[in-house]
Structure 1
Amino acid sequence: MVANRDIKPGETILIERPITIHPAAIMASVDHPRGPWGAFEDIYEDGFPVLGETERSVYMDLWNCKPLSGTLGNKICGIARTNGLHTPLGRSKDFSGVYPTISRCNHSCGPNASARFDEETMAMRLFSRRPIAPGEQITTSYVGTANPCAIRQAELKMKYLFNCECNFCKPSKPSRSSRLLRHPYWNAANQLTRQNLDVAAEIYASDYRGSQISLCLSHARDLWAEWLSPSSKQSDGDLLQFHEDALVIIAQEGMELMRISHIAYLAHASAALEDEDGFRRWGNILISLSEWTKGREGIDQKRTWQDWVQDPMASPAWGLRIKAKGNAQNIPRA
């Protein structure tokens, strides 16, 4: 799938319903004559005629990377296992769906798009994670992008029978952040790379940054609590720099879905400092990145942020840092 126009971050690219849905975890057949997937193949073969002619044609045209035995059920099952996307339904949430177009997206370990299923509409929404230019391929990730390169490669090889050669697995040039990083938590990650391309060093540094991103929210909570303490020695700039640098590293690693919490922290910090312009800036960015909304809960969250942007003083974080500094002046000196 290739973009034919400029696509903004968070913009909906496509919404479509699945051709089929099946349980993601299926008990293997121990004694089936066609092997562990035999019972699943029988179910799919029996149910496949229920689909319309167009749906059957579109389905059978999808890629199949699983071993072929020559039976129709085997091919149908292989297509489901190759193209299934997480489709949470009901209490278990453990279902997989095959989609006519979204299932065709190629893989990248730093994808520019993501897909999310909405149970209310029974449809999958494909949306952009960052700006996508005309002619650029639209990609999703088949594996967890926060995992180290070796783990991602092993999972892709086992499930989909290919070696990933995206820029995050096979870099062609040294990776650099878009600007100088100032917070010590993040700056170490870019000290690991060299001026000249060293693929092993680049992959190690990328894995290190991915690990930092995965673990940083615990550090962020500690920073926030300490920052609002009357006894805090932390500067305003230190907290803001941590989250601004986080956004730079997240973009460098193609992990844009991790940015929502940092943008929210920056908005709340602006409110705590009684900075209306800063709060509106970060709040509007948060609202525009609609991937953070999910179902009725997400809609309500978005509406709450819209109300806060209209009236920043309604934010529960308004003035918290100012009050903490005022309380600090009343703390008895030792």
Structure 2
Amino acid sequence: MADVKKIATRDSYGNALVECFPDFPNMVVLDADLAAATKTGIFKKAYPERHIDCGIAECDMIGVAAGMAAAGMIPFASSFAMFAAGRAFEQVRNSVGYPHLNVKIGATHAGISVGEDGATHQCNEDIALMRTIPGMVVINPSDDVEAKAAVRAALEHDGPVYLRFGRLAVPVINDRPDYRFELGKGVTLRDGKDITIVASGLTVSESLQAAEDLAAEGIDARVINIHTIKPIDAELVAKAAAETGKIVTVEEHSVIGGLGDAVIGAIAENPVPVYKIGVNDEFGKSGPATELIDLFGLTAPHIAKKVKEVLGK
């Protein structure tokens, strides 16, 4: 995939806000003094009167967003995942989730691919936190195309949505005419009969590459992209479990409470072995993003190796 175009999904987020505004004139975009980093600055430049900088006060920003949603607007509250999901968790839970308000949370710089910012800013717990809030939709797009589609889908959905975006540029893998985004529906990117790889976010492209490498060795791996982690496409996951018998999940997130656990929950009534690849019970480290992704076993060679171990090959 060396020649594939790469775009950071945080850039996709900023561009999607601008593209969607004409169709959703009751939109307003909030940020917590991070417009340049979260890319809401793109929207601010295009529609300055619809952008509000709430300062370094993420909890207050969520409260402002809740008030605007209660008044009939569609606010996007934007900050780093560590702050949007972590620091402001109580406000998201009580001010947005409890009254089920139409607030969209654009959380950028998620996961270990934040890189040199280190463990304090590498939020590997946000999906787990947001999944616990009743009624909260949780989306983790895999590329530029999917991230833009996710923003529009969030706008069309009435209720709270958590959107997870990354800092690192990732391959564009969904740039095809038949691509369709639907909340709560996973996408089978590659069919296979030996095992299923279920991935989300930046690990989707790595999982596809792993499947290609495995095919060269005679292993037929199915690849499923779960962009909506909550509600998860339980029907698609259960079908894959029944047809392939084994599942490997791959996520740039803690293995506790994230995609892997969501998959296990989806097939609990008819279980098959599920093997989770992700950040284990540990914090991240400071370093170049690409090196960290490899260090934590999220690259194609590591995924392929795990699949072969599971299949005993």
Same fold (TM over 0.5): no
TM-score normalised by length of structure 1: 0.25
User: Structure with the greater relative contact order (CA < 8 A, sep ≥ 6): 1 or 2?
Assistant: 2
Which of structures 1 and 2 has the bigger CA Rg? Answer: 1
TM-score normalised by length of structure 2: 0.27
Task: Judging by fraction of residues, say which structure has more helix.
Answer: 1
